[in-house]
Structures are given as C-alpha cells and as structure tokens.
Amino acid sequence: MGAFAALGLAGPCLAQATEIPHIVTRGGRHALIVDGRPFLMLAAQVNNSSNYASALPRVWPMLDRLHANTIEIPVAWQQIEPREGQFDFGFVQTLLDQARAHDKRVVILWFGTWKNTSPAYTPDWVKLDNRRFPRMKTRDGKDHDVLSPMFRSTLEADKRAFVRLMTYLKEHDPQNTVIMVQAENEVGSYRNPRDFGPASRAPFAGPVPAALIRKLGKRPGDWSSVFGAQADRAFNTWHTARYVDEIAAAGKAVKPLPIFVNAALAGPSNVPDPDGVASGGPQQDVLDIWKVAAPSIDAEAPDIYDRASGNVALYLDAYARPDNPLLVPEIGNARDFARYFYEALGHGAIGFAPFGMDDTGFSNYPLGARTLDDATLDAFARPYQAMAGVMRDWARLALERPGWGTARPDDGSDRQATLGDWTIKASFGEWQFGEKSWSWLKSEPAPWAEEPVGGVAVLPLSADEYLMIGDHVRVRFASAKPDPRAMVVRVEEGHFTAGTWMTDRVWNGDQTDYGITIVDRPVVLKVTMGRYR
C-alpha cells in the first residue's frame, strides 16, 4: 500500500510543507489541512492583553503544560497601526519566531472594528474621530458605543490594516506557522439592534437582498415585512456580515488562509431578544444570513461560556453543519468545560480552545476558572496529551466517517449512540472494578461521581472497529440488535505509524470485564467487535 493510501489521502493532496492551510469538506464533514494533511487544533487562547512580547514568556510554558499544538492570540489594529498609515509588525514577527521555536501553530485573532462588540482595540485615531468613523445611533438618536457597519470609511480603514497584516504573513510566514485567522472578535452590538441613524434609513426601507430571500425561502419584501420583530437584528446581521466578508475577502486575496468569525452566543433554545443579544453576530439562529452575506468566511464559531450540558449540546449541534465546520475557538477554562472536548470531537470539531490560558495571573472567574490549579489544567492537558500523538489520524478519520462523542450530562445519566451495527453506551461515576449495583462488595460512591467530569469520543475505523478516547467514563460496546453471539473481541491501546494502527498492549481482564473504565488518564483505544460462528 502506498503512503498516500495508508494515509487515506488522494494523490492531489500530495503537498509541499508550504501548502497554505485550508479546509476541505467531504460528505458534509470537514478537516483543516495543515502541511497537506488533516490537523486537529488542540489549542488554547491567551488572555486579551497577552498580545505583547513582554507577556509571551508567561504564555509558552502554559501552552506546553496543556500539550496544546496551537495558540490563539490577538493581533490588534491599535497595535499594528498606532498612527494612520504607519505599520508596526514587531509583535507579529516576535510571535512567529517564538511560536516556531516552541513548536506551536498560530491562530491570529484580528481585533479590529469589533472586540466583544466594542471599538476598544481600534487605534486612537479611529476611536477619537466619530465624524469619519461614526458610532451607531440609538432609536432616540444618541450615540451608541459600537462603530456602525454602515460606513465605508470605517470598513476601508479596517480592511487596509487587515490586508497589511495578511501581506506581512504572506511575506514572512512561508512555512504557514499561522494556520487560521479570526476576523474581528464577537461582532455586533448589545442593547441596540441596529444603527438607527440616517445612513440606515434608505437601506432599511429597501428590499431584503434576493439571495437572502432565496436562502430563507421567504417572500420578497422590506426588512420589516420579511423579518417582523427580528427585522432590526436581521438587517444589522446582514450589514455586519457583508462588512466582515469584504475585509476577509481582501485578506484572502493576499493569502488565502481559512478565516472564521466567533459568536457571543445567545440562549440556545429560544429566538434571542434583539436588544439583549450581540445583534449582528453569527448566533445560531442567524447562521443562514451569515452564510449568504459572508461567503469568504470558512466557519462561524461558538464561544461557549454556558456551563449547562444541555445547552452546550445544543450549541454544538447548531454549529456542526455540512456547510459549517465546527470549531470551538473559546470555551471557559474552568474544569467543568474540559469534558466538552469529547462532545465537540464527536461533532467532528476541527479545533477546540479553552480561553484565558497563560500564566499572567488572570483566570477570568466567574466566567472561567477560580484559579488555574493543577486539577483544572490537568482536565484540559491530559486529553490533549493523549490525543497529541494521533491528532492527524483522528482528523483524517473524522473526515471519512461520522463519529460520536458525549460529555457527562449535568445529571450524570448514561448516554448512548448507535454507530453502524454497534451501540456505544457511556456511564459516569463508576469505580474501575465491578458494578455500582453489587451489594456483596461494598464501596462508597466514586469521588468524581458528582463532579462535572467525564466524556468519550468514538470514531469508526471500519464496520466493526472503533477508535475511542475518554476519561472519567465507563464505555460499553454491544450489538445494536439482540445477538447472543456478539462480543468485544479486542481492546487495544496503541498509536498510528504512517496511518496504520500499531498495538502497544491489549487490554483484558479487569480492564475490560465491566466495560472499559477510564478514570483520570485519558488514553486512545481501538475496540474490535465481532460475533462467533
């Protein structure tokens, strides 16, 4: 078997190390291609103000501690263009040099017109010039803090700076240390669903663009008649997405790296209150607007700070779409969030990043961890460590077949799924030996039984073989249809060499008699099912 076949790659994927990273989509599944091969971003995002050379020494040890292969880090407009037309890429070069020295890939977060909706990261000459770069107007004609997406002057200035950044990467990063770029950060506006100033008057009264009408299957009309109570928000979403798309397209024309946008999420199961949500952002209920308005954006991505397991499941479902690769560019850095790594993998995620991961003394409680103690860091680090050696294979296989993953639900109940002929059941809070129900062997409940830890992700390798990774979980495989001849044939711990599974040891006896129970040491296993004749 040739090397390509073993890797599951078609010939044309044969790539130089310098092939520009991109996303491929096949059968509604996705992979991020880095150096010509699928890559799983085991990432961490630094704190907001860690985008300076002085902070980097407190960043890299944390990335290593986490076994992360990718750093997500801001590059701010105010930082690269402090005076109009005068650019300073000193930090970007330092970042490239140090990332290479520390063997990390980079996702640059472009903090431009919007950062958590605000213009805080624009240069002073932008912030202070409201005539040239106007803020939005509220319903009663007052200035709102957020810059309006309705002005070409603002768009052109942001675009110019972004294009310079992408030009710098084209010229100084031929090895593609930077693998992806986030355009803006949590765009939109709170408490003001659109710009109510004169610049919006005619467009708001005009027709909804035909392409959007077609996509949504609506009847043509103006914004109010098509969108009713959500009209202001739909209008702002369209114009914000068009604005970001133009910037992204101009950047990609220089260097076509994948570009995504992140969403400040709204409640998962209701239509958001247009005054409460970051109106304009790519929340799950307006993804179709973004898809039509922003074709240059490769992914809309959820920032997850909601700890409720049911809500996280809904977010992951909403963003994992055939037309949208799932990427979790931010998730809280508290211990409870770590288990969602497995659930994201089960949804085919191309990357995952806890937020606020550096040693600057900032941990973001109560949004994030109270402190970044060892228990917290291990919860993220150990799954990354176990996955690191097989991440290319995992990403390759996830492009080929759908998998499944789950995190311990808040109520600790069992979770199960059927993949092909076999059902996989995850239960939580089990000791390693025996059954909870046994009365002859007394034990106290496992200490982690009530803790928000535990999860598993599974990918089929063939009809009867599965790859799995998990922790604080017991996993049982069984025939989907009752079949007394069905059994687990082998459970192997191992790794891949050039795309081929290599067994390091076989798990048997106590390690498999009660299901496969993994506690605090996540491990990659291959499970083979079968039936005797």
Interface positions with ligand DGJ (CB under 6 A): 48, 116, 185-186, 303, 330, 355-356, 364, 367
185 vs 406 by CB, closer to ligand DGJ: 185
Between the CA of residue 194 and those of 240, 290, 306, what are the distances in Å?
10, 16, 26
Q: How far is the CB of 217 from ligand DGJ (least distance, A)?
A: 32
CB nearer ligand DGJ, residue 300 or residue 330 = 330
Closest separation between CB of residue 151 and ligand DGJ, Å?
Answer: 24
Which amino acid would we find at residue 167? T
Which residue from 196, 383, 175, 348 is spatially nearest to 279, judged by alpha carbons?
196
Give me the least distance between CB of 171 and ligand DGJ, in Å please: 28
Q: Contact, 297 vs 180, CB < 8 A?
A: no
Strands 422-427 and 500-507: unpaired
* Cβ 121 to ligand DGJ shortest distance, Å: 10
The residue among 72 and 343 lying less far from ligand DGJ, judged by its C-beta, is 72
Q: Which is nearer to ligand DGJ, 178 or 369 (CB)?
A: 369
**Given the complex with ligand DGJ, which of 49 and 443 has the nearer CB atom?**
49
**In the bound complex, what is the minimum distance in angstroms from residue 397's beta carbon to ligand DGJ?**
31
Between residues 285 and 330, which has the closer beta carbon with respect to ligand DGJ? Answer: 330
Residue 263 or 350 with smaller CB distance to ligand DGJ: 263
Which residues have a Cβ under 8 Å from the Cβ of 13 and sit 6 or more positions away? 4, 33, 36, 37
Whether the Cβ atoms of residue 491 and residue 501 lie closer than 8 Å to each other: no
Q: Which is nearer to ligand DGJ, 121 or 341 (CB)?
A: 121
Q: Which of 278, 355, 342, 343 is nearest to 311 (CA)?
A: 343
329 versus 383: smaller Cβ distance to ligand DGJ: 329
Distant-in-sequence contacts of 496-501, Cβ < 8 A, 24+ apart: 496/389, 496/390, 496/392, 496/393, 498/3, 498/6, 498/7, 499/3, 499/6, 499/7, 499/8, 499/393, 499/396, 500/6, 501/461, 501/526
Q: Choose between 169 and 265: whose C-beta lies nearer to ligand DGJ.
A: 265
Which helix (H) or strand (E) is 479 found in, with range? strand 473-479
β-pair partners for 207: 222
Q: How many CB atoms lie within 10 A of CB 208?
A: 23
For the chain, the distance separating the N- and C-terminal CA atoms, rounded to the nearest angstrom, is: 31
Give min distance, CB of 356 to ligand DGJ, in A. 6
CB nearer ligand DGJ, residue 224 or residue 364 = 364
Q: What angle do CA 128, 134, 139 make, to 5 degrees?
A: 125
Distance CA 415, CA 408 (A): 8
Cα separation, 31 vs 25, in Å, equals 7
Task: In angstroms, give the least distance from the CB of 56 to ligand DGJ.
Answer: 18
Residue with Cβ nearer ligand DGJ (93 or 116): 116
Complex with ligand DGJ: residue 186 or 285, whichever CB lies closer = 186
Based on the number of CB atoms within 10 Å of its own CB, is 413 exposed (0-12), middle (13-18) or buried (19 or more)? exposed
Query: Minimum distance between the CB of residue 109 and ligand DGJ, rounded to whole angstroms?
Result: 8
Contact 163, 110 (CB under 8 A): no
Distance in Å, CB of 29 to ligand DGJ, minimum: 27
Q: List CB contacts of 111: < 8 A, sequence separation 6 or more.
A: 74, 75, 76, 77, 78, 121, 184, 185
Q: What is the DSSP-derived secondary structure letter of residue 279? A: B
Residue 207, sorted as left (phi over 0), alpha (psi -120 to 50) or beta, turns out to be beta
Residue 228 Cβ vs ligand DGJ, minimum distance, rounded to whole Å: 30
How near is the Cβ of 389 to ligand DGJ at its closest, in Å?
A: 30
In angstroms, rounded to a whole number, what is the distance separating the alpha carbons of residues 124 and 499?
A: 51
Q: Smallest distance, Å, CB 358 to ligand DGJ?
A: 12
**Taking Cα atoms as reference points, which of 397, 281, 376, 285 lies closest to residue 331?**
376
CB of 457 to ligand DGJ, least distance (A): 25
